[in-house]
């Protein structure tokens, strides 16, 4: 049953299937523990987050500024623009996805932090 748990779900897109197969191959070669059904859910979350992160990265490098300036109007003098600064949405998505991916990798025991003995 251990090998069948990580079979890809039938509703994955082609892009998700590629990421799924790559990740499961790495998971099988990197860990030596019995896989359970929750691992399948974590792998699915990883696949979806990786695709979101990669798309956010591609969008962010086209305009690699952490903050975006938005003109919201004109000041009372009639010349000076009112500017609001907002965090770049692609950068924000990229960073949030990285944090969640790191947590999933830790949960799947694929990070040094997760593999170290508890007594250290």
Domain count of the fold of the chain: 1
Mention every residue, 6+ apart, whose C-beta is less than 8 A from residue 69: 83, 84, 85
Beta bridge partners of 67: 87
Residue 107: left if φ>0, alpha if ψ -120 to 50, beta else—which one?
alpha
Q: Residues 6, 28: contact at Cβ < 8 Å?
A: yes
For residue 1, being part of any structural domain is answered with: no
For residue 2, being part of any structural domain is answered with: no
For residue 120, being part of any structural domain is answered with: no
For residue 95, being part of any structural domain is answered with: yes
Note the pTM of the prediction, 2 decimals.
Answer: 0.79
Residues 114, 53: Cα–Cα separation, whole Å: 22
Domain that holds residue 85: 7-115
For residue 110, being part of any structural domain is answered with: yes
Residue 3, pLDDT > 70, answer no
For residue 18, being part of any structural domain is answered with: yes
The pLDDT of 54-77, averaged and rounded, is 90
Give tens-digit pLDDT for 24-61: 888 888 777 777 888 889 999 999 999 999 999 999 99
Q: How many alpha carbons fall within 13 Å on the CB side of residue 68?
A: 13
Q: What pLDDT was estimated at residue 1?
A: 38
């Amino acid at each position: 049953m251990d090998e069948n748990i990580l079979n890809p779900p039938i509703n994955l897109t082609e892009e998700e299937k590629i990421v799924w197969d790559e990740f499961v191959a790495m998971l099988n070669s990197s860990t030596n523990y019995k896989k359970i059904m929750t691992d399948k859910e974590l792998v699915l979350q990883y696949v979806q987050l990786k695709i979101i992160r990669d798309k956010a990265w591609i969008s962010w490098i086209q305009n690699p500024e952490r903050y975006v300036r938005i003109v919201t109007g004109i000041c009372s003098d009639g010349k000076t623009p009112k500017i609001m600064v907002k965090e770049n949405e692609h950068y924000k998505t990229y960073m949030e996805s990285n944090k969640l991916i790191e947590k999933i990798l830790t949960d799947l025991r694929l990070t040094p932090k997760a593999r170290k003995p508890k007594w250290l």
